[in-house]
Structure 1
Amino acid sequence: MGRILIVDDDPEIRDVVHVYLRNEGYEVLEASDGIEALEVLSHEKVGLLILDVMMPRMDGINACMKIREKYTMPIIMLSAMEEDIDKIMGLSTGADDYMTKPFNPMELIARVKAQFRRQVMTAPKEEKPDGIHIQDLVIDEAKHFVSMRGQVVNLTPLEFAILTMLAANPGHVFSADTIYESVWKERSGYSDNTVMVHIRNLREKLELRPKEPQYIKTVWGVGYKIDK
């Protein structure tokens, strides 16, 4: 079913989430802060992280940035802060989803399952040796591989899915709602700035000048596209 790491300095929250996840058949590991989480990741294979923001020693924002330097597994961020700017900051550092405390454990379980489903949906079905080539961008869907100007680019599963969707349909403009519903497999009712943040993250990883993108372009008032 998958191994999940819960990172939270509150043992009661860890215990509650642990029980719900275990009852769904998941194997669960725990850490009390970002430093301990990085230590666990250094010797344990983990399929998904549930990461609190406010923690001692190393908080969730800094931990997420450190984790994203080496790992691409989905990250669901938890926070008592519910302002849009807090959500945007969490997503900007590499989180795939964001929930505010207090939260319904069953909603968290639903989001965990959704993240694992997306990994299965984006897994390669067959070899496509030629992949997608657009100027210096190369995407191999079968190997879940992306390179830009000959350098390997590490993307999260959601970033990879968005990039592949745009690159596989050059010139086609996709609205933020369409991207959200296609990639997240959910209605776009609460997507807010989620797609915009992931597009910005992709540009930071792919573009020489992210504010003047050569690849992922914005069609103002309409959406996003990649030209051939």
Structure 2
Amino acid sequence: MRVLLVDDDAELVSMLSDYLRSEGFEVDSASDGESGAAAALTGQYALVVLDVMMPRVGGLEALRQIRQHSRVPVLMLTAKGDDIDRIIGLELGADDYVPKPCLPRELVARLRAILRRTTSQAEPTSSNQPLTAGELTLFPDRHRVEWRGSPVELTNAEFQLLAALLRAGGRVLSKQELSEQALGRPHTRYDRSVDVHMSNIRQKLGAGSGPHAPILTVRGVGYRIILE
């Protein structure tokens, strides 16, 4: 429950820190992307909240540095209506985003959703048997994915989306179902998170959207996994 807030807005950081502590979180902060990335890589935090616009090293560059060495969940704070930063952040490996100005209650809800996903991966359950589809294998208990025998590094959000598709057994899952099952929140009309995460998964599998891609887009509906 230890969170790192990385934002150069001291007033906002103070307000969010107080609210998060009242909700049971431990909170540390950094005021620029360089120190924030360094702190995030210490392994001391369950979550990182990272603002996009900061001096010296911005949030997107900080995220890039973090993802080179760590899968720690990252939630981006983006300017309201700035879809470009949101998409770039998701493409770089952010788990989720919240537009600024944000309500502390919404931020906490998003953080708890991410924590539920990451915590469930560590809990032994009967659903932790390997999931397979052709040359794709996902190991829920080990947070490991193999494609054609080689390991694939996925973020927590990407891992959960792929697991949801595999558990569906070839059935089409709508974006609403995928968002609720894998991201822990409802899908909204202009939210492109699921699409961007799916694009990232395809690229990491090296399969793109061609005839051998294991993930099929069902236009106007959602996605399904190819089982053979």
Q: Does the TM-score normalized on the shorter chain lie above 0.5? A: yes
1:223 is the counterpart of 2:222:
yes
Q: Deviations over 1:108-148 (max 9, x none)?
A: 12222222122233444337786123333221112121122
Provide the aligned C-alpha RMSD in A.
2.2
Contact kept in structure 1, 2:76 and 2:97, CA below 8 Å: yes
What one-letter code is carried by the residue in structure 1 that aligns with 2:10?
Answer: P
Contact kept in structure 2, 1:122 and 1:161, CA below 8 Å: no
185-194 or 8-17: which moved more?
185-194
What corresponds to 2:48 in structure 1? 49
What corresponds to 2:203 in structure 1? 204
What corresponds to 1:102 in structure 2? 101
What corresponds to 1:11 in structure 2? 10
SS at match of 1:51: strand
Q: Residues 61-210 of structure 1 correspond to what in structure 2 (within 5 A)?
A: 61-126=60-125, 131-190=130-189, 192-206=191-205, 208-210=206-208
49-58 or 151-160: which moved more?
151-160
SS at match of 1:17: helix
Within 2, Cα distance between the matches of 1:127 and 1:68? 31
What one-letter code is carried by the residue in structure 2 that aligns with 1:201?
Answer: N
Contact kept in structure 2, 1:8 and 1:55, CA below 8 Å: yes
SS at match of 1:63: helix
Contact kept in structure 2, 1:218 and 1:224, CA below 8 Å: yes
Within 2, Cα distance between the matches of 1:151 and 1:115? 27
SS at match of 2:8: coil
What one-letter code is carried by the residue in structure 2 that aligns with 1:204?
Answer: Q
Aligned residues: 226
Contact kept in structure 1, 2:130 and 2:139, CA below 8 Å: yes
SS at match of 1:139: strand
Contact kept in structure 2, 1:174 and 1:225, CA below 8 Å: yes
Q: Deviations over 1:33-52 (max 9, x none)?
A: 22112221333421101100
Within 2, Cα distance between the matches of 1:79 and 1:129? 35
- Assess, with a 3 A threshold, how the Cα gap between structure 1 residues 84 and 39 changes in structure 2: closer, same or farther: closer
Q: CA deviation at 1:160?
A: 0.9
Q: Deviations over 1:38-78 (max 9, x none)?
A: 22133342110110000112111111122122222221111
What one-letter code is carried by the residue in structure 2 that aligns with 1:155?
Answer: L
Within 1, Cα distance between the matches of 2:194 and 2:128? 29
What one-letter code is carried by the residue in structure 1 that aligns with 2:180?
Answer: E
Within 2, Cα distance between the matches of 1:74 and 1:123? 14
84-93 or 27-36: which moved more?
84-93
TM-score using structure 2 length: 0.88
Within 1, Cα distance between the matches of 2:127 and 2:223? 25
Within 2, Cα distance between the matches of 1:129 and 1:156? 18
- Assess, with a 3 A threshold, how the Cα gap between structure 1 residues 25 and 188 changes in structure 2: closer, same or farther: same
- Assess, with a 3 A threshold, how the Cα gap between structure 1 residues 140 and 112 changes in structure 2: closer, same or farther: same
Within 1, Cα distance between the matches of 2:23 and 2:111? 10
- Assess, with a 3 A threshold, how the Cα gap between structure 1 residues 80 and 113 changes in structure 2: closer, same or farther: same
